Amino acid sequence: MLHVVDNLIPNEEIPALRHLCDLHGDLKQASEGRNLFSWIPADASDRSARSLHTPDQQSLVEHYIRKRLGPLLDRFTPQAAGYEWWCNTNNDLDWHIDKHEATAGRDGRYDLPLLSTVFYPHVSCAGGELLIADNAPVQQNSPIASPDFRSVISVPPVVNRVVLFSAGVLHRINPFEGERYSVAVNVWGHPLME
């Protein structure tokens, strides 16, 4: 599944998410490679949220997820347990499959989210398309391996665009020149404990 929506949020909310990406980039540099994935439980009364970001920054993302992204997500993932989020600030990402990194490293198997999303609060670049391979999605608990594919779908980064795609799909960021910020949210069917 691939779903692209333009003009997801009111324009006045975009600068705050762009600024969040700047702060995330600074935090990533200061944390010397530590994992900066944050967690927001699907149940708003559950207080198991965790993040190295400030409470205000976490609240900003929670508002984005619950009020803006949520209506789309509910159609595809009504059984969500929570949301893992992070920012990509001018990142160069090669081919990969979104997965629970700790499980993959420990067990050599895929623990997959229900759905992956990418939102663009700032784009001023040539290139930088999200490339999504046509591979058959890898299955939950299958051994870590890169699947074969024959072609890709190219989705250009556009400010205020969100891209939703199925779990287990190989994807990457096409090389680019300029600036490209995104807020990534993976929807999980079980809580992430590490």
Confidence of residue 36 (pLDDT cuts 50, 70, 90): confident
CA distance 187 to 167: 9
Domain edges within the chain? 2-188
pTM of the model: 0.95
- pLDDT at res. 33: 60
* pLDDT at site 63: 97
Consecutive H or E run containing 70: helix 70-76
> How high is the pLDDT of residue 92?
84
Give CATH for domain 2-188.
Answer: 2.60.120.620
Cross-strand partners of 109: 143
pLDDT band, residue 104 (cuts 50/70/90): very high
- Comparing CA positions, the residue from 169, 168, 171, 164 lying closest to residue 73 is 164
